Copies of this chain bind each other. A is one copy, B any other.
Amino acid sequence: MSSLAKNLFRNLTVSCGDCSLGDLCIPHGLAQQDIDRLDDSVSHTKLLHAGDILYQQEAPFKSLYALKSGSVKIIVRNNDANDDVMGVYLPGELIGFDGIATDKYQCSIQALETSNICEIDLDSLQENIPQIFKQLLKHASKTINQSCDVVSVSKSSAEKRIVSLLLDLSDRYRQRGYFYTEFNLYLSRSEMGSLLNLSPETVSRGIRKLEREKFISLQNKRRVKINDLDGLRNLISTS
């Protein structure tokens, strides 16, 4: 493909080599040659709007996905009326590892806002870049470690759990080069409660308390500005 053609094409679908995610996505640690081959396994076109489902729990495993922009939530069906929220994915994060073990997705993924997503065909990836699996394994290991943190957080008080969520989101935005002191939550108080294992009322009280104490400001019910990052960090470190 000529350089000109490549540039024209770029306007429609960004190739993995040019993707803004850069090292955040799979290519990290791969040779340029492999990155080019990565394109053959990736389709760059998925667009979701708020409420759209990327995949459903129990559906057969099909692909991994990379979130390019937007945000989605991880939900799991439970016995009650409402689904449990297990977490959110932010831009630059990989989605779908839950489906690898049993060839069935173990949770559903639902867009919280308009989101762009790359689809990554695992079988094709295996053919093109066998050594990618070590990379994926590292990523899976990281996820395992993170869920360790989730468990730790769930042992602390309501306010600390809320602060932990805010700091976690802030940190993940920062790592990916986004504004990290002001962002949308998109989750309702009730969904945050489900995620943190708190009642919606307790989440509300906790957030308002942080607001009264000037740690954060609420632009909107679901948009927060962090005024005192260190202050928040202190809140969770002190016993």
Q: List the interface of chain A (C-beta within 8 A of B).
A: 76, 78-80, 84, 86, 97-102, 106-107, 126, 130-131, 133-134, 136-145, 147-148, 150-152, 154-155, 197, 237, 239
Contact = CB atoms under 8 A, between A and B. Distances in A.
A232 to B, nearest CB: 17
Contact of A97 (B99, B133, B141): B141
27 contacts: A76-B148, A76-B152, A78-B152, A79-B237, A84-B155, A86-B151, A97-B140, A98-B141, A99-B141, A100-B138, A100-B140, A101-B141, A101-B142, A107-B148, A133-B133, A133-B136, A133-B137, A140-B140, A140-B143, A147-B147, A147-B148, A147-B150, A147-B151, A151-B151, A154-B154, A154-B197, A155-B197
A99 B142 CA distance: 9
Contact of A150 (B99, B136, B142, B151): B151
A151 to B, nearest CB: 6
Contacts of A130: 130-131
Contacts of A147: 144, 147-148, 150-151
A147 B98 CA distance: 11
A145 B99 CA distance: 9
Given A126-B134, A136-B137, A151-B154, 18 more contacts: A78-B152, A79-B237, A84-B155, A86-B148, A86-B151, A97-B141, A98-B144, A101-B138, A101-B141, A102-B142, A106-B148, A130-B130, A130-B131, A133-B133, A133-B134, A133-B137, A140-B141, A147-B147
Of the candidates A98, A102, A147, A152, the one having the most CB atoms from chain B within 10 angstroms of its own CB is A147
Copies in the complex: 2
A100 B237 CA distance: 27
Contacts of A134: 126, 133
B98 A148 contact: yes
Nearest to A99: B141
A129 B232 CA distance: 48
Contacts of A151: 86, 147, 150-151, 154
A138 B102 CA distance: 8
Nearest to A150: B151
A6 to B, nearest CB: 32
B101 A139 contact: yes
A94 to B, nearest CB: 12
